[in-house]
Amino acid sequence: MFKRLLFACALVTAALFNAPARANAQGAAAEPPLHDTIIVLPFENTTNQKEYNWIGASFADALTDLFAQAPGLSVVSSDERELLYQRLRLPLTAQPSRATMIKIAREAKASLVVIGNYSVKPAQEAAAGGEKTVPLEISGTARVVRVNEGQLWRTFDFGGAVTNLQRTQGALAYNVLYLRDEALTLSLNRVLELATKVPPRAFESLVKGVMTDDLEKRSAYLQNAGREYAKVHPGEIYPEAEFELGNLYYQRGDWKNAAEHYSKLKKGDTHYGEAAFYAGLSKQRLGDLKGALDTLVTLASDLPLTGVYNNAGAISLQAARQEKTDAERDRLLKQAIGFLERARETDPQDPTVLYNYSYALFMSGKFPEATDQLRNLLTILPRSGEVLFLYSKALEKAGQTEAATAADNEARRYLGKPYAQCQTEWQKSQSIACISLRVVPAFDVAQSIEIQQPVVDTTAANAQDIMEKARKLYAAGQDDEVLPELNRVLMIEPMNAEAHLYIGRVYQRRGDLVRAISSLKTALFWDAKLIDAHILLGRIFLEQGDRAQALAHARTAIQLDPNNQEALALYRQVETGAK
């Protein structure tokens, strides 16, 4: 057993350090752009063992975190990626098609996308000798795609024991970074150090917990992740596990435990902003308004989002309604108006913000200003009973009796049963306490992410026209003219396999076989059944003396079309060794 473990580790180490060389052998080196934005999608599990789907998710998260350490490279975070999936109505566990992959990357304004697949060989009982198990082995391929050109830039093979998964991910991250910039200042050892920062057992428990839909199992996995982390890092917490436990309790409505776990995250932790947001809401629902405000006021200085400002303002108003001391009440009202004005600056037409801002003006005795704000809000929410009730009372206080009566009749109509209680409280104490304040219930990552809205494709016909022109130019031997046209096609349709095929043909005709192979492989990346690309690749590999690859493409071409004469001729050439 021990010998086999040493052998597995040796294989992993070899894979880690030889990967850059393998990658460079697959195509010509390219100068890195001045700046890139990269997105990593969850890797696809090609086996039937769904219990290993967590590995694919872990690749996306781990590579994303590691890429964020590289200078000159912007990274689409895991939260941002999830938001993109939601916008495209894709399940988080879905494996998008390659066309959808490009759409996701383009909406994120990414210039590079990393995708991959893997298989896992399950642990097996040893045949004899009393040894228990052989470690799980993982093997797979990662692909780096240039988004704007739809170009498959490089492929990387990876593999090793699952117990060394984080080290494998670190090596893969380094290879991608080195591909982009050979002058990379991050060393392999430093990247591997960052990759293995979390103990393997803690990391595995975390990802399994996030992946399962069974809430009891999720709780057990996440708590185990925290324990395993603490074994290696005594006195420290595992921020990701605490965040996910906070989410679990929040979903259950267990505000006390949710607040406790969310509050363990500190500034600088990956999910600090979101955790503080929900910690504030949890404390509010527990009735701990002071604790909620302490959390949200601090967060507002770190994360200037509309929802944070709104909630800090709304809870300040709620605290002011309960405050008995005039000085403290005035302070809370002033604080509320300050936060809500900042929220209004970030989103002038947000109805929740306008509602709370109007409420704050009303409580501050600024009735004419409140009337103006509520009149504007009614253009957005014309049938809101609460808005109409506030509007009628603001008009009443402002001395506009006739308009107040008309608004009150509308409030009675749309507020329904609560109207009687609200009106009684108003007549008794001029109180509007029965009209609730409004908090933003969900942390909106979109407020801090600039994402392009989906655009309806109106250029398909134009791309086909350009492609037809390119075919004619190629047939006429006008290679200098055809390449710009083919690049125009790819600007419109980056996944157009035929355009990549013709680029490969041009480079092959020019004798630039490295670029020809790269373009033809990209064509097959987008359309694996493109028989002409297989035939041309077979001819190039045969010319280079690589009979194994030539034979593989010849066989694939014949499988696609057994009667294709060019495929049959290529096969005969390879078999006889003729050129």
Asked whether the predicted pLDDT for residue 266 surpasses 90, the reply is yes
Q: Confirm if 479 and 506 have CB atoms less than 8 A apart.
A: yes
Q: What is d(CA 305, CA 295) in angstroms, rounded to the nearest whole number?
A: 14
Q: What CATH number belongs to 2-197?
A: 3.40.50.10610
Average pLDDT of the residues in 529-533: 92
Q: What is d(CA 460, CA 492) in angstroms, rounded to the nearest whole number?
A: 8
The model's confidence at residue 294, banded by pLDDT at 50, 70 and 90, is very high
- Tokens 């912007």 found at: 74
Q: What is d(CA 207, CA 58) in angstroms, rounded to the nearest whole number?
A: 6
The model's confidence at residue 211, banded by pLDDT at 50, 70 and 90, is confident
Q: Which CATH number fits domain 304-442: 1.25.40.10, 3.40.50.460, 1.10.490.20, 3.40.50.300?
A: 1.25.40.10
Asked whether the predicted pLDDT for residue 64 surpasses 80, the reply is yes
- Residue 133 phi, psi (nearest 5): -145, 160
The pLDDT value recorded for residue 134 is 52
Query: Among 168-182, 260-274, 476-490, which is the least confidently predicted range?
Result: 476-490
SS3 81: helix
User: Which pair of tokens denotes residue 108?
Assistant: 């994120």
List Cβ<8 Å contacts ≥24 apart for 126-135: 126/1, 129/1, 131/1, 132/1, 134/1, 134/4, 135/4, 135/5, 135/8, 135/161, 135/162, 135/163
- Residue 416 phi, psi (nearest 5): 75, -145
The pLDDT value recorded for residue 89 is 76
Q: Which residue has the higher pLDDT, 302 or 7?
A: 302
Helices vs strands, H then E, count in the chain? 26, 6
User: Which pair of tokens denotes residue 258?
Assistant: 């949710």
The model's confidence at residue 445, banded by pLDDT at 50, 70 and 90, is low
Q: Which residue has the higher pLDDT, 59 or 32?
A: 59
Q: What is d(CA 159, CA 162) in angstroms, rounded to the nearest whole number?
A: 9
The pLDDT value recorded for residue 150 is 83
Q: Nearest to residue 163, comparing CAs of 276, 8, 318?
A: 8
Q: Which fold has domain 198-302?
A: 1.25.40
Q: Which fold has domain 460-576?
A: 1.25.40
Q: Which residue has the higher pLDDT, 130 or 480?
A: 480
Write the DSSP assignment of 26-45 as a string of letters: TS---PPPS-EEEEEPPPEE
Asked whether the predicted pLDDT for residue 140 surpasses 50, the reply is yes
Query: Among 221-230, 249-258, 288-297, 434-443, which is the least confidently predicted range?
Result: 434-443
Q: Is there a shared CATH topology between the 304-442 domain and the 460-576 domain?
A: yes
Domain coordinates in residue numbering, the chain: 2-197, 198-302, 304-442, 460-576
Q: Which residue has the higher pLDDT, 281 or 515?
A: 281
